[in-house]
Amino acid sequence: MWKDVVAATAPHGLVPPHGSAGTVGVVGYLLRGGISFYGRKVGLAANSLRAVELVTADGELRRVDADNDPELFWAVRGGGGGFGVVTAVEVALFPAATVHTGAAFWPAEHGPALVAAWQDWCRQAPTRPPRRCGC
């Protein structure tokens, strides 16, 4: 589960592209895409996969990555499954000291205007937060 991975990596100032619920399974989330808090920075969680170990239908244990069987690696990352039984994953970590999240809710009739405003904001939003002056 993601809560176990985050607990192991956070003391080192590193995080994986986890979602909002710690009880979600790592492998299913990664292989199906996964949209994390860090999506604007790292994209889908599947983009952070570096290698996958799986047992294919012929009973062979394979380690696939960008250099070793790249077609199967591509298919496994967000391809919907059915390519084998995943036994291990290697995922990229990235530094994150502080994370700010939140949620807001409005009546459904405001949806079209809110989506348009959100899209406009996303186009103009900085890729990183402004630096604090330290004063």
Residue 39 belongs to some domain of the structure = yes
The answer to whether residue 63 sits within a structural domain is yes
| Within-domain flag for 108 | no
Which amino acid would we find at residue 81? Answer: G
Look at residue 123 in the predicted model and tell me its pLDDT: 86
User: What is the per-residue pLDDT for 130?
Assistant: 54
Q: What pLDDT, on a 0 to 100 scale, did the predictor assign at position 132?
A: 52
Does residue 77 form part of some domain? yes
109, part of any domain: no
CATH code at 6? 3.30.465.10
Q: Taking a C-beta distance cutoff of 8 angstroms, is the pair 3, 21 a contact?
A: no
Alpha helix (H) ranges present in the chain? 2-9, 26-31, 39-42, 70-76, 111-124
Asked, for residue 47, whether it belongs to a domain, the answer is: yes
pLDDT at 21: 79
Total structural domains within the chain? 1
Residue 46 pLDDT: 83
- Average pLDDT per block of 10 residues along the chain, 135 residues long: 87 84 77 75 81 92 94 82 85 78 82 91 73 48
In a domain, 120, yes or no: no
Compute the distance between CA of residue 59 and CA of residue 106 in angstroms, rounded to an integer: 51
Please check whether residue 15 is in contact with residue 9, taking contact to mean a CB–CB distance below 8 angstroms: yes
Residue 133: the pLDDT is 46
pLDDT, residue 100, reads 64
Predicted local distance difference test score (pLDDT) of residue 135: 42
Is there a domain that residue 107 lies in? no
Q: What is the pTM (predicted TM-score) of this model?
A: 0.68
pLDDT for 131: 53
Domain that holds residue 31: 2-95
Residue 57 DSSP class: T
Identify the pLDDT of residue 103.
74
